[in-house]
């Protein structure tokens, strides 16, 4: 992906819009990106399980914020 054509502000707007519309969708996208970059493997090793737990913990922690923004 060529980042020269995408401003940080435009990217921020897109991510914010996704969060406002459906926070769970953003989580799915994040998980897919991590899998594509081999950060998450299909095998549930200890590191992968911890990473998934951290992602879920963040979404649980900020769930009320996401709902308030929507």
Residue 8 falls within a domain, yes or no? no
Residue 1 falls within a domain, yes or no? no
> What's the domain count of the chain?
1
* pTM greater than 0.75 (yes/no): no
The contacts of residue 51 (CB under 8 Å, 6+ apart) are 34, 39, 40
Residue 65 falls within a domain, yes or no? yes
- For residue 60, the model assigns a pLDDT of 87
The Cα 13–Cα 46 span in angstroms is 35
Residue 70: give the domain boundaries: 23-70
Identify the DSSP state of 44: -
The Cα 52–Cα 40 span in angstroms is 8
Q: Which contiguous run of DSSP H or E holds residue 57?
A: helix 46-61
Per-residue pLDDT of the chain (70 residues; tens, 9 = 90+): 555 677 888 888 888 888 888 878 878 888 888 888 877 665 567 777 888 888 889 888 888 887 777 6
Residue 6 falls within a domain, yes or no? no
**Are the C-beta atoms of residues 61 and 27 closer than 8 Å to each other?**
no
């Amino acid at each position: 992906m060529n980042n020269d054509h995408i401003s940080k502000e435009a990217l921020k707007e897109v991510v914010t819009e996704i969060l406002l519309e459906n926070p769970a969708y953003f989580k799915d996208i994040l998980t897919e990106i991590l899998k594509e970059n081999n950060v998450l493997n299909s095998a549930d090793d200890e590191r992968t399980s911890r990473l998934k737990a951290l992602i879920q913990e963040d979404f649980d922690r900020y769930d009320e914020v996401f709902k308030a923004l929507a």
